[in-house]
Amino acid sequence: MTLSDHDSLSFAPLRLVVATANPDKAREIVAVLTDSGLSVELVARPGDIPEVVEDGETLLDNARLKARALCSATGIAAIADDTGLEVDALDGAPGVFSARYAGEHATYEDNCNHLLAELLSRTDASRTARFATAVVVAFPDGSELTARGEVEGRITASPRGLGGFGYDSIFMPEGESRTFAEMTPEEKHAISHRGRALRSVAPLVWRSMQTLGNSTLHKEQN
Q: Are the C-beta atoms of 24 and 166 separated by less than 8 Å?
A: yes
What is the reported pLDDT for 220?
46
pLDDT per residue rounded down to tens, the chain (222 residues): 444 444 444 557 788 899 988 888 888 888 888 888 877 888 889 989 998 999 999 999 999 999 999 999 999 999 999 999 999 999 999 999 999 999 999 999 999 999 999 999 898 889 999 999 999 999 999 999 999 999 999 999 999 999 999 999 999 999 999 999 999 999 999 999 999 999 999 989 888 777 765 544 554 444
Distant-in-sequence, close-in-space partners of 56: CB < 8 Å, separation ≥ 6: 62, 64, 65, 82, 96
Three-state SS for 18?
Answer: strand
What is the reported pLDDT for 70?
96
Q: Are the C-beta atoms of 129 and 88 separated by less than 8 Å?
A: yes
Q: Which domains does the chain have, with CATH numbers?
A: 5-218 (3.90.950.10)
What is the reported pLDDT for 212?
61
What is the reported pLDDT for 26?
87
Residue 70 burial (CB count, 10 A): 27
Of 194, 174, 171, 193, residue with least CA distance to 182: 171
Distant-in-sequence, close-in-space partners of 27: CB < 8 Å, separation ≥ 6: none
**DSSP labels, 110-170:** HHHHHHHHHTTT--GGG-EEEEEEEEEEE-TTS-EEEEEEEEEEEE-SS---SSS-TTGGG
Active-site residues, by number, are: 82
What is the reported pLDDT for 37?
80
Q: Are the C-beta atoms of 70 and 19 separated by less than 8 Å?
A: yes
What is the reported pLDDT for 10?
52
What is the reported pLDDT for 192?
95
